Amino acid sequence: MAIKYKRILLKLSGESLMGEKSFGISPDKLNHYATEIKKIVDLGVEVAIVIGGGNIFRGLQAADSGIERVQGDYMGMLSTVINGIALASILETHSVYARLVSAIEMKEVAEPYIRRRAIRHLEKGRVVIFSGGTGSPYFTTDSAAALRASEIDANVILKGTRVDGIYTADPEKDKTATKYDSISFAEVISKGLGVMDMTAFTMCHENNIPIVVFDINEDNNLLRVTEGESLGTLVS
């Protein structure tokens, strides 16, 4: 089978790990993602992953609890490391070699981020999970995904979500919303569509990294997108 994207960066939200739970990690979801990732690794696709932490803690929630924003952001970054440990562990039970890399040094559980080492892991067929965000407060995991995708020369960012693409409005709230099959970076900006935060989006635009937003919860969707099938919405 022909592969359209040889090196991908898969962006998963922390919420995507919750499944039917209101917080935490669903074993069923973890196993689903590991199964889907293994399908493309077995075809020789080089896979990097940036995972969020919203299932455990969101930096922006901190303001409500009186925690200073910067401290809250660091708590959010540590949440992504917890998710990364879980994902790396479950991948290895599916016979997929994984390396957890953290932007915040914690050598007992993760490698420090060294660009050339991360690329070497990808070339050797290992899945690289980037955790700890960018290592700096005020940046989201979307920004971390755009930054790491740029650094490793990824062909595409695949943003796995609960919906099957980008719509004119939130399809879960507005039944008249219609889906875009493809859209330009300029259109997303002019229409104010919330694909990613603006920092991340601008970085993808400047570095010509296309983004595919798709429903990752459907079996084989990750495989189909990697093979170039027009699933979800392509932003280019």
Is pLDDT of 62 > 80? Answer: no
User: Taking the C-alpha atoms of 46, 50, 55 and 60 in order, what is their torsion angle to the nearest 10 degrees?
Assistant: -170
Residue ranges of domains in the chain, CATH in brackets: 1-140 (3.40.1160.10), 172-236 (no CATH)
The residue among 61 and 209 whose pLDDT is bigger is: 209
pLDDT tens digits along 117-146: 999 999 999 999 999 999 999 999 999 999
* Alpha carbon distance 141, 130 (integer Å): 10
What is d(CA 113, CA 220) in angstroms, rounded to the nearest whole number? 30
Beta-sheet strands, E only, within 54-136: 98-102, 111-112, 127-131
Greatest pairwise CA separation for the chain in angstroms = 53
Inter-residue contact 234 to 159 (CB < 8 Å): no
* pLDDT classification of 1: cutoffs 50, 70, 90: low
What's the predicted TM-score (pTM) here? 0.95
How many other CB atoms sit within 10 Å of the CB of residue 172? 10
Mean per-residue pLDDT for 11-16? 92
Separation of alpha carbons 72 and 32, rounded Å: 30
